[in-house]
């Protein structure tokens, strides 16, 4: 009789980094990388996450490689933005937006690490490919709108791929806030800015006329006394409204009100607030030019008027929020002491 000895079962290693039965390919390699960087507890069903100092060396190495790859891609983009885009009057808020977004992400680092890792490689892979395609297109064709916005898509893909959708829900605002640093194409800015400049010029001219000043308007050119002033894009354009809208949304995020009505109402009110702030800025510049001459209007006072714009916008935003909070029901106001 031929008796066959029973085939022993292979014991499974409790923390194996790779599956031996899975098909070799790009998707498999990506999945294995995700498994290595994510906490081991995430794949064993445990909801806890290890602190950074207690993570395996392989996790830290792969995390460092991911950060290095992101830096290799986008540090040249930031350098180009700093040289060509951010020095302009309409895009000076770019580095502030980038720094604030990075700070907001940094403040959520402990909450991010406390989340159980739920990698979604199938959802992250196409997003990552789209982000890289946007980057290559923008970099090769000198289209900064694609190059700068690709970082948001890549970051979303990395979050979903390594930590899952809970991580994306945690960091959605810093990622959304990065949109305000993406420079719009010049043609889009010009087409949207023209009616805004005309409206701001008309209202400013009427206010000055009611104040008894000898003012006349021809399109976006204001004539006051012997001076003629052109209302530029930076003084009454789309970019300044974008900056003030970003400030208002940042304020809403920091206040963390749970009232959806209050949040939506204030976000909508920021648009007319930005319009009013632009009118005040243009009026100040016209008055300074009329009383102190063209040199004063184009020198330090011109730059100072830009700070006045954001000061007025912030003050009006805080005032509008106070009014909205005053009309909230008592129960809602108690839940939102801010």
DSSP 114-172: HSPP---HHHHHHHHHHHHHHHHHHHHHT-HHHHHHHHHHHHHHHHHHHT-HHHHHHTH
Q: DSSP letters of 190-225?
A: HHHHHHHHHHHHHHHHHHHHHTT--EEEETTEEEET
Contacts of 298 (CB under 8 A, 6+ apart): none
DSSP3 helix / strand / coil % (the chain, rounded to 5): 70, 5, 25
pLDDT of residue 245: 82
As beta bridge partners, residue 217 has 222
**Among the options 217, 235, 262, 325, which is catalytic?**
235
Report d(CA 288, CA 301) in Å as an integer. 8
Does 325 qualify as catalytic in the annotation?
no
pLDDT of residue 34: 47
Report d(CA 40, CA 67) in Å as an integer. 20
Number of structural domains (the chain) is 2
The answer to whether residues 270 and 245 touch, using CB atoms and an 8 Å cutoff, is: yes
Does 256 qualify as catalytic in the annotation?
no
As beta bridge partners, residue 223 has 216, 228
> Residue 6 domain-assigned?
no
pLDDT of residue 26: 44
The answer to whether residues 251 and 317 touch, using CB atoms and an 8 Å cutoff, is: yes
Q: Which regions of 10-147 does DSSP assign to beta strands (E)?
A: none
pLDDT of residue 184: 82
Q: Are residues 326 and 195 in the same domain?
A: yes
Q: Which residue do the tokens 């209007």 mark? A: 297
Q: Which of 162, 181, 200 is the last residue of a domain?
A: 181
pLDDT of residue 305: 66
Report d(CA 315, CA 309) in Å as an integer. 10
pLDDT of residue 285: 85
Q: Are residues 302 and 227 in the same domain?
A: yes
pLDDT of residue 23: 39
The answer to whether residues 100 and 109 touch, using CB atoms and an 8 Å cutoff, is: no
Report d(CA 239, CA 190) in Å as an integer. 11
pLDDT of residue 16: 41
> Residue 7 domain-assigned?
no
Q: Are residues 121 and 217 in the same domain?
A: no
User: In the 3-class helix/strand/coil scheme, how is 277-316 assigned residue by residue?
Assistant: HHHHHHHHHHHHHHHHCHHHHHCHHHHHHHHHHHHHHHHH
> Residue 3 domain-assigned?
no
Report d(CA 240, CA 228) in Å as an integer. 23
Q: Are residues 267 and 162 in the same domain?
A: no
In this structure, the number of other CB atoms found within 10 A of the CB of residue 87 comes to 11
pLDDT of residue 255: 82
Q: Are residues 158 and 272 in the same domain?
A: no
Tokens standing for 160? 């979903």
pLDDT of residue 3: 47
DSSP letter (8 states) at residue 227: E
> Residue 136 domain-assigned?
yes
Cα 150-154-160 angle, rounded to 5 deg: 145
Q: Are residues 173 and 30 in the same domain?
A: yes
- pLDDT tens for the chain, 338 residues long, are 444 444 444 444 444 443 444 434 444 444 444 444 444 444 444 444 555 455 555 667 777 888 899 999 999 999 999 999 888 767 878 898 999 999 999 999 889 888 888 899 999 999 999 999 999 999 999 999 999 999 999 999 999 998 899 999 999 999 999 999 998 887 777 787 788 888 889 999 999 999 999 999 988 888 888 888 887 766 666 766 787 788 888 888 888 777 888 888 888 888 888 888 888 888 888 888 888 887 766 766 666 666 777 788 888 888 988 888 888 766 555 555 55
> Residue 19 domain-assigned?
no
pLDDT of residue 333: 53
Q: Are residues 140 and 237 in the same domain?
A: no
**Among the options 40, 163, 262, 281, which is catalytic?**
281
pLDDT of residue 228: 87
> Residue 269 domain-assigned?
yes
pLDDT of residue 7: 43
pLDDT of residue 92: 78
Residue 287's alpha-carbon distances to 10, 275, 302, in angstroms, are: 86, 19, 11
Q: Which of 181, 210, 233 is the last residue of a domain?
A: 181
Range of the domain at 112: 26-181
């Amino acid at each position: 009789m031929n008796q066959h000895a029973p085939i022993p079962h292979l014991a499974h290693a409790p923390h194996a980094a790779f599956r031996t039965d899975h098909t070799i390919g790009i998707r498999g390699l990506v999945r294995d990388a995700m498994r290595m960087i994510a906490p081991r507890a995430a794949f064993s069903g445990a909801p806890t996450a290890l602190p950074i100092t207690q993570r395996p060396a392989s996790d830290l190495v792969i995390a460092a490689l991911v950060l290095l790859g992101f830096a290799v891609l986008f540090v040249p983009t930031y350098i180009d933005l700093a040289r060509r885009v951010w020095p302009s009057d309409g895009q000076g808020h770019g580095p502030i937006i980038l720094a604030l977004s990075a700070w907001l992400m940094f403040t959520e680092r402990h909450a991010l690490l406390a989340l159980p890792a739920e990698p979604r490689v199938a959802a992250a892979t196409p997003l990552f490919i789209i982000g890289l395609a946007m980057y290559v297109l923008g970099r090769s064709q000198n289209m900064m709108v694609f190059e700068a916005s690709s970082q948001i898509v890549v970051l979303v893909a990395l979050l979903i791929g390594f930590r899952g959708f809970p991580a994306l829900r945690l960091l959605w605002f810093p990622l959304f806030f990065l949109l305000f640093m993406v420079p719009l194409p010049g043609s889009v800015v010009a087409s949207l800015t023209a009616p805004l400049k005309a409206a701001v010029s008309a209202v400013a001219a009427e206010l000055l006329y009611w104040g008894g000043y000898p003012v006349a308007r021809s399109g976006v050119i204001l004539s006051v006394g012997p001076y003629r002033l052109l209302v530029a894009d930076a003084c009454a354009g789309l970019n300044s409204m974008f900056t003030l809208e970003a400030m208002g949304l940042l304020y809403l995020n920091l206040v963390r009100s749970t009232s959806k009505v209050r949040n939506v109402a204030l976000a909508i009110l920021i648009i007319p607030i930005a319009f009013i702030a632009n009118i005040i800025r243009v009026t100040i510049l016209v008055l300074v030019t009329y009383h102190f001459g063209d040199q004063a209007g184009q020198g330090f006072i011109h730059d100072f008027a830009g700070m006045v714009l954001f000061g007025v916008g912030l003050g009006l935003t805080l005032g509008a929020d106070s009014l909205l909070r005053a009309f909230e029901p008592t129960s809602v106001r108690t839940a939102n002491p801010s």
